[in-house]
Amino acid sequence: MKKRLRICAVLLVLALALSATLCLRGTVPPPAAAAEASQQGYIKWVDFNIPYEALQKTMNIDIRSHGTALPINWIELLALAGVKYGGNWKKYKPADIDKLVAKLQSGKTIAELTAGMKYYNYYYEAYSAVLSNFLGDYEIEMPDPADNSAKIYEIKYGLKVFSPIAKGFGYSHYDDFGDSRSFGFTRRHLGNDLLGSIGTPVVAVEGGYVECIGWNVYGGWRIGIRSFDKKRYYYYAHLRKNHPYAAGLKVGSIVKSGDVIGYLGMTGYSTTENVNNMTKPHLHFGMELVFNEAQKESNNEVWINVYNIVNLLSQNRVAVRKDDTTKEYHRVYDFMDLRYQEYYTSNP
C-alpha cells in the first residue's frame, strides 16, 4: 500500500511538472511532430549574453544614423561582433564596434564584411529574433508645448519597447537566469525576477496578442503575450492576489507596447488558485524565442537571459495614473507602433 502511494505521489509531481510547461492549450506536440521538428533547420538554442553596454552602444549608433545617407543596423553590428567573439561576449571591447562602423563608413558593405563568415547568418537570425522590433518608427502622445492642457502626437524613431515596470515604481533585480528551483521538481530559472511592491503596475514590453492568461502551479496568476511577428513569447508571472490583471484582459486581447496588463504580486507554487506562496513580491519576466511552432511547448523551447534587456528597457518606462474609482492604472500617453498600426486600428 505504501509503495503504491509513493508511486502515485511521484506520478502527481510529474503531472504538475508537465502542466507547468503548458499554456492553456492543455497538450504537447505529439511524438511525430517532435521528430519532424528535430529534422528541420530552425534554431534550437540561443545563448543571449550580449552585455548592456554593447546593446546601448549599437542602439545609439542605429538611432543616430537613421535617416542619413548611411543608416547602420544595430543587429548587423551585433551579429558581426558575435562572429568575432564566437558568441563569447566576455571578449567585448567598445573599440571593436567602432572599427566595424569605420569600415561601413569607408564604403564597405555588410555583404563584403560577412563574406566567408560561416556563422554570421546564425547570429543575425538569433539576435534578430530577440531585437527585431525593439527599434523603429512610432507615434507617441505628449503634452503640447503651446498649451499645457492639450496633447499632440509626434512621430519618432527609436526604442519602442518598454520596461515591464511602470515609471515611478521601484524595483531591484540581479542576473538569476539559470538558478536552481526546487518546488515540484528540480529545474532552472528561465527568466529574471524583478523585486518590487505588491500592486506595482506591470506593462507589456512589446505589443502583441494575449496567448495565455490564468493560474499556473508555478507562476501563479500569469500572462503570456505573443509578439505580432510571432517570434517572441513574453511571460509575466506571480501577479497580484485578487486583482492580478488589467480589467477586460483575456486570451486574444491585443495590447500595445506599454499598456498596463497586470499588477505585481507573489502568487504561485500552489495547486490552489489565488494563493500567495512566494516569499517575496516580485515579477517573473521571461522571453521565449519561437523559430518554429513545433518547439513552442516542447523540449525544444528557447528561453533567453533577459537581464541585460531589462537594463536596456529601464530607460524607457511608461508613465501611469490611477483611476480612483476602478483602482485600475492606465498609461498617461497613448502610443502607436507604426509597424503594426493595422492590428490596433482593426482591433480597438
What the chain holds in terms of domains, given with CATH numbers, is: 52-132 (no CATH), 162-346 (2.70.70.10)
CA atoms within 13 A on the CB side of 280: 10
DSSP SS3 for 106: coil
pLDDT at residue 113, as a whole number: 96
From the list 191, 66, 133, the residue with the least C-alpha distance to 337 is: 133
Q: Please list the pLDDT of the chain residue by residue as tens digits (348 residues).
A: 444 434 444 333 334 344 344 443 323 333 333 334 334 589 999 999 999 999 999 999 999 999 999 999 999 999 999 999 999 999 999 999 999 999 999 999 999 999 999 999 999 999 999 999 999 999 999 988 888 888 899 999 999 999 999 999 999 999 888 777 766 555 687 899 999 999 999 999 999 999 999 999 999 999 999 999 999 999 999 999 999 999 999 999 999 999 999 999 999 999 999 999 999 999 999 999 999 998 888 888 999 999 999 999 999 999 999 999 999 999 999 999 999 888 877 776
Under 8 Å between Cβ of 92 and 78: no
pLDDT of residue 19: 38
Cell 507596447, residue located? 257
What's the mean pLDDT when you consider all of the chain? 88
Q: What is the distance of C-alpha 50 from the center of its chain? A: 15
Which of 212, 215, 229, 234 lies closest to 309 in space, CA to CA?
234
